Structure formats: structure tokens, C-alpha cells
């Protein structure tokens, strides 16, 4: 190998490392957005909620820049098989983080009408969901930074807990709605907010799958049963 | 220019044309999924609903293959600026179509518990939303195939109609829920189904934006006011 191609390979690696760092920072930004969204619900702070919504543009912008960087890197460097996996993972993970940011912004957005109506505030359940989801995202970012497939797999498995908590909270909200029609509108917002948070967990598991593929070159077995029981027939008995 | 590099450029173009064709077919598959999902609601056919859910794997698989093809094409061909835009658009559009497929599968999935409870079936509104969304996706695929930015822009503008129809349907569902607590569970499913369809429209507008960028090399002005009024304060008056 000539020193010329070594030089190219080295700078390819360093560009990839820079990209990974940017993706992790973008991920941390998305977790902060989720935590801020939950915080504004408790404080009923409309202006702060609007700030969270506005911040999402920065995450979208970052994702666009990262995707463009990845594509440019590919076009200039013509990487080989293993490197292609890294690049492919980077693209996927950045897209998942962008969606996590979207969901966090949606939670903040719905907190505005919620704060104007809520005669009942069963938002503790929502806090708990958000804590689980934020922890999942933080852990999967650590796994990505460390290229630790086993750690990623642990995060992937832990999403079941969030799914179960979501299902429980969904049931709880339905009972509030049945008790008093005045609860219907606020609880509808809470249902959507909870669903957004549950989806954040799904994206954390997508990221875990991308890490697994990046490290092992094969896909993680997806035979796990999906645990959002709210669209399963049993739940509907509640409404009979 | 040597005939050798001409040859490379030509086969790059033909690979890109093949990719575009695959993406359009994948898009048509996702529209068919949406139409099937709406169809199974009317027929209350659980087995058919499960088929729609299962078909979504095929779309996910296609998207993975297309992304891999794109990345491989990039790595092998080192395309120039205009070509990079094409490649970038292909990646984005395939990802949007994959999500359209997900939302269609979610609609089908929720039709199963819905068919077991629904004492009230205000599903006409849902049919109408689905028709608007399916038309939007079909049109934007034509615009993509033809590389017609003006056509894409027309689709982008037409999404406002779907957003308004969604908001109206959302209000209608809230009134059903307030009228009779037995409507709460089925209407909750319908709320999520309607939201899924409204999101399909958003992805059609994303695709329109990608086409615009691909053709013009600049982003479409996004100053349009978002028209999902269900998370705006006014709507909440219904629940007061």
C-alpha cells in the first residue's frame, strides 16, 4: 500500500469519526428537547413550549448537513464494504434522531392546548414514559459512540418496558375519558403525546439495530413481539 | 472526454433511471397498501387486515435494498454535484415512501380492534381522508418520474386540503366521544387512524420538496402555515 492511499484511508477514518461525533451530539440535542418538552408541560409555559418547537429546526438542519456530508464523503472516497456499513449506519441513525426530535417537538406543541383545558392532569404517567424514553436514547447513543453491539442489544430489549408503560397509561387515559366527558379533549392530547414518546422508543430500537448491523454485518433478529397492545383486540374490552 | 468516461457516465445514468423506476414502484405499492387498509375497514375483514400489515415488510425490504444500491452506486461512481442531488433525493424519497407504508399498515392494524367494538361507524370521513392522501401520493410519484418540479409544487399545496379535512374529522370524532362513552374506544382508534393518514400527506409534501430540490438545487420555501389545527388552542374550546 502506498503512503498516498494510507493518507486517504486515514482522513476517511477521521472524517467518519467526526461524523459519528456530530451524530451523537445531534442525538443529545434530541433528548434535551424531549426533557424540555416534559418540563414545559409541568410548568404550563407556552413560550417555553414554542421555543422547543422552534429548536426542532436546528435538529432538522443538522440532519440535512450530516446526510450531505455522508453523501459527499461517499462520492469522494469510494469506501469498501466495512466502511460502507459505517456510512449506511450513520445515514440511518441521523434520520432516526431527526424523527426523535420531531416527536419531542410534537409533545411540546400539544402541551400548549393541553395547558388551556386540562381539568384533570394525569401527566405523571407521561413523565414516566418520557424518562424511560430519554434513558433509552441516551444509552443507545453511548452504544453508538462505543460501537458496542451488546450494549445496543440491551437497549433494544429494554424498549419492552416503555411499550408496557405506554399501554398502561393508554388504558388509564381511556378510563378518565369515560368518567367525565370534559376529560375527553385533554386526554386526547395526552394520548397523542404518549404515542409520540412510545415512538421515540421505537426509534431508539432502530438505532440499536443499525449499530448491530454496523458491528456484525448482519441484522438483529426481529422476532420480538411488538408490545403496543393499544391496537390489540384485548384492550377494546374496556370500551364495550 | 474519453469514450471510457462517457461509458461510465452513461451506465451511471441508466442505474439512476433504474433506481427511480424502483422507487416509483415502491411508492405505488405503498398507495395500494393504504387503499387496501381502507377497504378492510369497510369489509371488517381481519385476515385481509393482517395481510396488509404483513405486506409492509416487503416495502421495508425494498427501501433497504434501494438505500444499499444508492450507497453502492455512490461508492463506485463518485458522481458530481448535479448527480449527488439526484442520489440524495432518491435516498430521501425512498425513506418517505417507507414511512407512508408504515402508516398504511398502522391503519390496517387498528382496523382489527375497531371492527370488534365499533357501535358507531363514522368511517366515511376516514375514507375521504384516505382518498385525498392516496391521490396526493400518486400525483407526487408522477412528478418524481417526470422530474416535474411545478407538478410537485401543486401536490405540495394540495396537502392543505387534507389537513383541513383531518381537522374537521377530528372535531367530529370528539363530539361522538362526548355524546356517548361507548364511542370513546372506537373513536380513539379512528383518531389515530386519521392522524396516520394526515401524516401520509406530510410525507407526500416531503417528497415534493425533495423533487423541487433535485430539479432546482434549492429548497422550496417552507413558509406555509402548518394546517393541523387539532393541536392549536382554538380546538380545545370543544372540550371546555
Contact A91 B232 (CB under 8 A): no
Please enumerate in sequence order all residues whose Cβ is within 8 A of that of B214, keeping only pairs 6 or more positions apart, or say none.
Answer: B85, B86, B88, B89, B147, B149
Residues of A with CB under 8 A from a CB of B: 67-68, 71-72, 74-79, 84, 87-88, 91-92, 95, 106, 109-110, 112-114, 116-117, 174, 177-178, 181-182, 184-186, 188-189, 191-192, 195, 231-233, 235-236, 238-240
- pLDDT: is B11 or A215 the higher one? A215
Most confident region among A2-16, A148-162, A217-231, B44-58 by mean pLDDT: A148-162
pLDDT tens digits, residue range B109-160? 998 877 666 555 667 889 999 999 999 999 999 999 999 999 999 999 999 9
Q: Flag whether pLDDT at A84 surpasses 50.
A: yes
Contact B67 A88 (CB under 8 A): yes
- pLDDT: is A74 or B102 the higher one? B102
Nearest CA to B210 out of B220, B201, B202 is that of B220
Contact B74 A75 (CB under 8 A): yes
Contact B78 A76 (CB under 8 A): yes
Contact B113 A79 (CB under 8 A): no
Nearest CA to B149 out of B136, B140, B162 is that of B140
Measured between CA atoms, the residue of chain B closest to residue A105 is B231
Contact A185 B192 (CB under 8 A): no
Question: B240 vs chain A: nearest CA distance in angstroms?
Answer: 6
Which runs of consecutive H residues, i.e. helices, occur in B44-148?
46-77, 81-117, 124-146
In the prediction, which pLDDT does B74 show? 74
By Cβ distance, the residue of B112, B182, B238 closest to A239 is: B182
Contact A75 B78 (CB under 8 A): yes
Contact B174 A182 (CB under 8 A): no
CA dist., res. B151 & res. A155, Å (int):
44
Q: Flag whether pLDDT at B53 surpasses 80.
A: yes
- % pLDDT > 70, chain B: 81
The pLDDT of A26-50, averaged and rounded, is 91
Q: Which domain holds residue B179?
A: 3-239
Ramachandran assignment for A125, one of left (phi > 0), alpha (psi -120 to 50 degrees), beta (any other):
alpha
Question: A99 vs chain B: nearest CA distance in angstroms?
Answer: 11
Q: Flag whether pLDDT at A231 surpasses 90.
A: no
CA dist., res. B69 & res. B54, Å (int):
24
Largest CA distance in chain B: 76
Mean of per-residue pLDDT scores for chain B: 84
Instruction: State the total domains in chain A.
Output: 1
What confidence category does residue A108 fall into, taking pLDDT thresholds of 50, 70 and 90? very high
CA dist., res. A138 & res. A106, Å (int):
20
In the prediction, which pLDDT does A10 show? 59
Pick from A74, A92, A94, A121 the residue to mutate for testing the B interface (most B CBs within 10 Å). A74
Question: A175 vs chain B: nearest CA distance in angstroms?
Answer: 9
In the prediction, which pLDDT does B226 show? 46
- Residue B160: exposed, middle, or buried by beta-carbon count in 10 A (0-12, 13-18, 19+)? middle
What confidence category does residue A240 fall into, taking pLDDT thresholds of 50, 70 and 90? very low
Q: CB–CB of A223/A155 below 8 Å?
A: no
What confidence category does residue A3 fall into, taking pLDDT thresholds of 50, 70 and 90? very low
In the prediction, which pLDDT does B119 show? 52
Pick from B83, B236, B238, B240 the residue to mutate for testing the A interface (most A CBs within 10 Å). B236
By Cβ distance, the residue of A71, A114, A181 closest to B88 is: A71
Which runs of consecutive H residues, i.e. helices, occur in A44-183?
46-77, 81-117, 124-146, 149-179
Give the CATH number of the domain where residue A65 resides: 1.20.58.220
By Cβ distance, the residue of A78, A84, A184 closest to B78 is: A78
pLDDT tens digits, residue range A127-182? 999 999 999 999 999 999 999 999 999 999 999 999 999 999 999 999 999 999 98
Pick from A79, A94, A228, A231 the residue to mutate for testing the B interface (most B CBs within 10 Å). A231
Q: Flag whether pLDDT at B17 surpasses 50.
A: yes
Amino acid at each position: 500500500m502506498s503512503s498516498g492511499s494510507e493518507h486517504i484511508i486515514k482522513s476517511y477514518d477521521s472524517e467518519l469519526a467526526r461524523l459519528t461525533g456530530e451524530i451523537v451530539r445531534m442525538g443529545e440535542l434530541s433528548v434535551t428537547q424531549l426533557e424540555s418538552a416534559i418540563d414545559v408541560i409541568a410548568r404550563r409555559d407556552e413560550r417555553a413550549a414554542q421555543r422547543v418547537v422552534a429548536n426542532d429546526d436546528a435538529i432538522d438542519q443538522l440532519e440535512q448537513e450530516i446526510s450531505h456530508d455522508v453523501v459527499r464523503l461517499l462520492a469522494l472516497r469510494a469506501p469498501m464494504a466495512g466502511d460502507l456499513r459505517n456510512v449506511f449506519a450513520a445515514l440511518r441513525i441521523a434520520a432516526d434522531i431527526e424523527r426523535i426530535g420531531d416527536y419531542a417537538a410534537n409533545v411540546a406543541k400539544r402541551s400548549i392546548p393541553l395547558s388551556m383545558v386540562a381539568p384533570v392532569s394525569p401527566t405523571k404517567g407521561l413523565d414516566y414514559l418520557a424518562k424511560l424514553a430519554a434513558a433509552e436514547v441516551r444509552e443507545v447513543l453511548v452504544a453508538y459512540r462505543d460501537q458496542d453491539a451488546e450494549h445496543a442489544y440491551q437497549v433494544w430489549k429494554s424498549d419492552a418496558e416503555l411499550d408496557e408503560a405506554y399501554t398502561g397509561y393508554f388504558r388509564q387515559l381511556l378510563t378518565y375519558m369515560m368518567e367525565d366527558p370534559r376529560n375527553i379533549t385533554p386526554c386526547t392530547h395526552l394520548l397523542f403525546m404518549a404515542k409520540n414518546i412510545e415512538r421515540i422508543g421505537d426509534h431508539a430500537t432502530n438505532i440499536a439495530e443499525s449499530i448491530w448491523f454496523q458491528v456484525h454485518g448482519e441484522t438483529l433478529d426481529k422476532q420480538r413481539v411488538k408490545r403496543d397492545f393499544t391496537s390489540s383486540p384485548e384492550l377494546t374490552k374496556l370500551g364495550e
